[in-house]
Structure 1
Amino acid sequence: MLDLTYDAPKPKTLSGATGDWELVIGMEVHAQVATKAKLFSGASTRFGAEPNSNVAFVDAGMPGMLPVINEGCIRQAVKTGLGLKAEINLFSAFDRKNYFYPDLPQGYQISQLYHPIVGEGEVLVELGDGTARNVRIERIHLEQDAGKSIHDMDPHMSFVDLNRTGVALMEIVSRPDIRGPEEAAAYIAKLRQIMRYLGTCDGNMQSGNLRADVNVSVCRPGDYERYMETQDFGHLGTRCEIKNMNSMRFIQQAIDYEARRQIALLEDGKEVVQETRLFDPDKGETRSMRSKEEAHDYRYFPDPDLLPLEIEQDWVDEIAANLPELPDEKKARFIKDFGLSDYDASVLTAEHENAAYFEAVADGRDGKLAANWVINELFGRLKKEDHDITESPVSPAQLGGIVELITKGDISGKIAKELFEIVYTEGGDPAQIVEERGMKQVTDTGAIEASVDEVIAANPAQVEKAQANPKLAGWFVGQVMKATGGKANPKAVNEIVSKKLGL
């Protein structure tokens, strides 16, 4: 058993006619394992292939076909468990979960009920109010995905695509520690971020590669604390499960609606029925799908075609030794090594590719200045054009070159923005562009002083105003910058103007 730190959450409170209610949320996140082949066959997992083209005999449930475990899926599950600071079970086993559905040709799903591959863990979730706390992970188990039923091709027929059948999923089961819609979205975002850093799931929610079943219940203030003391789930109220959520925005909407629906029932003297529900994003409401099944409804039993899985601790240690730097550690290092703010470090580490780009720009340069240019100039421009960092026309070396020119005093901030625009639209080496186009900053104090003298001589009335009110000295700085085409060193101009005006 792991010694987990639990920080008491600040619950989302909803007011009803009979008093306040608090939300309690647990999540089962289904993450598609990033492998080229399925969990028990060599069929491809490529997304977007022709229907029923990525199907092996065992996926189609053909008689006599036996499953063979894909070692790559096991490795990815172990890596995910390590990334979530979880206990890795050296002994695990697969079970059959029996139910009928047209896109499940075997008539059962191979899963792990009794002996999951990963045990208890935790994930640090950062909340919108600047606080952070741990959400406990109960387990991670491996299972097969089902196929896809298609109902909109013909009004009289339904079709089945088995391409997803047998694709490996990691089901990440949380404790009921999540206390509000925003926190649920932050939890999903953090899981996605960690798995993308690890390379164990691409986190693509639109393709169905990351989706969640959300369990929602409501209780009175104080009941959650009683649950934490006794571990008696009866204190948390009857839960309803909202299936197959693949949008963080819809997850928040569904939780809010479902909580209010349950409160209305309870305050009307009715009971909340434990059931599975679906969310209708067009109407913004959940609707009943079926009564909630328990484990015994699926008649679980050990899969007779698969031996128990036993892995060596040395193998786990080898995976642990080669884990990449994870988001929390990278963020802490950026703050320490580059002197970044918590906010800037969070933005830069949100995606692994963003962090790698920034590190290349900041290598051997002013980290704070590099962060400012990456976040404000580059990210701002890319977002405006609906691009991500992988589509950036400006390489880290080019942006790093601009940062270097600013640091050395060769160009001013204004010239740097002009240079960035040239590099972004035309490409080229920043230093060479500055040289060829005469963009280098004027640092010759003699030339700057002459320009200041001309502006002062031409504006005696403005001189008197500035001497009476030093704040007006900025007008002279602007005039000198204008006269020099923005090439004068702003710091030198300010100093000389102040000196000449006797300020």
Structure 2
Amino acid sequence: MINFEVVIGIENHVELKTKTKMFSTGAVSYGKKPNSMVNPTDVGYPGTMPTVNKKGIELSLIACQALNLTINPIVQFDRKNYYYPDLAKGFQITQQYYPIGKNGVLTIIDEKGKPLKVKIERLHIEEDTAKQTHEEDCTLLDYNRSGIGLIEIVTQPVLSSAFQVRKYLEALREILVYTQVSDAKMNEGSLRCDVNISLRPVETKTFGNKVELKNINSIANIEKAIEYEIKRQTEILLMGKTVPQETRRFDEKTKTTVLMRHKTDSIDYKYFSEPNIFPIKLDKTWMKKVLKNTQELPSTKRNRYLTKLKLKTTDIEIILQDYALMNFFEKAIKLSSHYETIAHYLIGYTSTYLNQKGLTLTETALTPQNLVEMITLINNNVISNKQAKKVLQRILVEDYSPTKIVAELELKQISDPAEIKAIIEPVFTANLEILVQYKQRPERVIKFFMGELMKLTKEQVAPEIGQKVVLELITAKQGQ
């Protein structure tokens, strides 16, 4: 890459988290029987008329604010006219001329650890098309997806590496999920990404021919596809040839990009204003209310966890990677100020359990109330950390009081110093030959008597209190 500069722009199609479609009352669904959730408006039946989904507008405004876009207070729609099997009515309702948001920025950290401002050109609202499934001898169409509300987010060509693209997509996805604009699940198609990539000689202002990468199903594969494409285009240019303008897809098996179709001149979609939806002027008071009640952005949450809750950076990242985990954590810290302990049990044993069982946190019986109650028992020396794991095993599968579990399993910890002393003192009397070794081997002597104490109490003694009693007895016996 000494000879060439990489130029990358990103286009993301994001499914809005609405219950109904963007311009009809058709239900939004995923995984339903193909063509079982089809609405007459979405497939262009004669006489049907579009109606604008208010929630879709709200979510679009929230996305604009989160991405620092200038919001257009007048919502206008256009028709994009073309015939293709996935678009039954022959046109798509979109925003070609008046996008709801323009000129935004999302800051990421680049390879050198420096902030990089990714300029976002526009965000516009449109409707989705039918899903195509290509077979050997035919293409199957599922119109359940047709009409679902989308926002398309388009960056300027300011990215220059696969690493930067990954960081941008991770940051974008995090914002979309945390603001509840979208589920942003690439495996379900609610977040899709087209990458436009070209190379040009260093210090040249003219862009090279653009190659579009489409239909890539994960951020990891997008990164691999870009790295391969940079290498492929570099080799072509070094041979003195011209990179053809085309659309390519990523082959997971070969880890290469594969030609889908060549691009010639841009298609004339004959855009014109959507005649069935008049321009909508958004009420300023309503807009302020929508934007005021938005969810806390990930960057703000990350800073709060670090500065106010004093959590470790690694723990913060683990919590923020999982929206359900973060949501649970937020509820729990409203009930207790033992933030680190809550985080410890969530990202430790609980996460291990979820991975082993192939479950999500919402599929367990664990509640913030029960987790905090268990932690309170630990802090009050009622149970040890080891006993807490037995309690946690139970409350993950059953919504049941930890206090009652402790009573039923007889897990109550021995924390009375006098009781502990009465249990361990006979052991000292019977093992004076061990005691006299304390000055030479203090750790071994302490470990021996603590081990005996744990055996006699079936590990139900509070470790800190037990060790304190053992040390006091050693000192006392040494002075005799």
Does 2:228 correspond to 1:247? no
Q: Shift of the alpha carbon at 1:438?
A: 2.5
Structure 1 equivalent of residue 57 of structure 2: 74
Which letter does structure 2 place at the counterpart of 1:91? I
Taking the aligned partners of 2:41 and 2:267, their CA distance within structure 1 comes to 26
C-alpha contact 2:364 2:397 (8 A) present in aligned 1: no
Taking the aligned partners of 1:350 and 1:157, their CA distance within structure 2 comes to 39
Change (3 A) 1:433 1:51: closer
Taking the aligned partners of 1:299 and 1:184, their CA distance within structure 2 comes to 32
Match for residue 149 of structure 2 among 165, 168, 174: 168
Task: Write out aligned runs for 1:244-323 (5 A).
Answer: 244-292=215-263, 297-323=268-294
Task: Write out aligned runs for 1:124-143 (5 A).
Answer: 124-125=107-108, 133-143=116-126
Deviations along 1:293-333, one digit per CA (max 9) or x if unpaired, are 66664343433444334323322212112112222222322
Structure 1 equivalent of residue 191 of structure 2: 210
Change (3 A) 1:310 1:379: same
Taking the aligned partners of 1:253 and 1:488, their CA distance within structure 2 comes to 54
Structure 1 equivalent of residue 87 of structure 2: 104
Taking the aligned partners of 2:369 and 2:434, their CA distance within structure 1 comes to 45
Q: How many residue pairs end up in the alignment?
A: 474
C-alpha contact 1:467 1:501 (8 A) present in aligned 2: no
C-alpha contact 2:81 2:271 (8 A) present in aligned 1: yes
After alignment, is 48-57 or 489-498 more displaced? 48-57
Which letter does structure 2 place at the counterpart of 1:167? I
Match for residue 477 of structure 1 among 442, 450, 459: 450
Once superposed, what is the RMSD of the aligned Cα atoms? 2.8
Q: Shift of the alpha carbon at 1:48?
A: 3.2
Q: Shift of the alpha carbon at 1:74?
A: 1.7
Change (3 A) 1:85 1:399: same
Deviations along 1:116-166, one digit per CA (max 9) or x if unpaired, are 0111223344679987654332211111211133443xx654443322222
Q: Shift of the alpha carbon at 1:27?
A: 1.3
C-alpha contact 2:306 2:312 (8 A) present in aligned 1: yes
Structure 2: gaps of 5 or more residues: none
Q: Shift of the alpha carbon at 1:484?
A: 1.7
C-alpha contact 1:366 1:407 (8 A) present in aligned 2: no
Task: Write out aligned runs for 1:107-118 (5 A).
Answer: 107-118=90-101
Change (3 A) 1:129 1:467: farther
Match for residue 180 of structure 1 among 158, 161, 164: 161
Which letter does structure 2 place at the counterpart of 1:137? I
After alignment, is 336-345 or 410-419 more displaced? 336-345
Taking the aligned partners of 2:5 and 2:356, their CA distance within structure 1 comes to 39
Deviations along 1:412-444, one digit per CA (max 9) or x if unpaired, are 112212222233355531112223333221112
C-alpha contact 1:137 1:174 (8 A) present in aligned 2: yes
C-alpha contact 1:327 1:350 (8 A) present in aligned 2: no
Match for residue 383 of structure 1 among 348, 355, 374: 355
Task: Write out aligned runs for 1:428-447 (5 A).
Answer: 428-447=400-419
C-alpha contact 2:367 2:399 (8 A) present in aligned 1: no
- Percent identity of paired positions between Structure 1 and Structure 2: 33
Q: Shift of the alpha carbon at 1:198?
A: 2.5
Taking the aligned partners of 1:494 and 1:332, their CA distance within structure 2 comes to 38
Which letter does structure 1 place at the counterpart of 2:391? L
Q: What SS is found at the alignment partner of 2:124? A: strand
TM-score, normalised via structure 2 length: 0.89
Structure 2 equivalent of residue 341 of structure 1: 312
Q: Shift of the alpha carbon at 1:497?
A: 2.9
Q: Shift of the alpha carbon at 1:182?
A: 4.0
Structure 1 equivalent of residue 332 of structure 2: 361
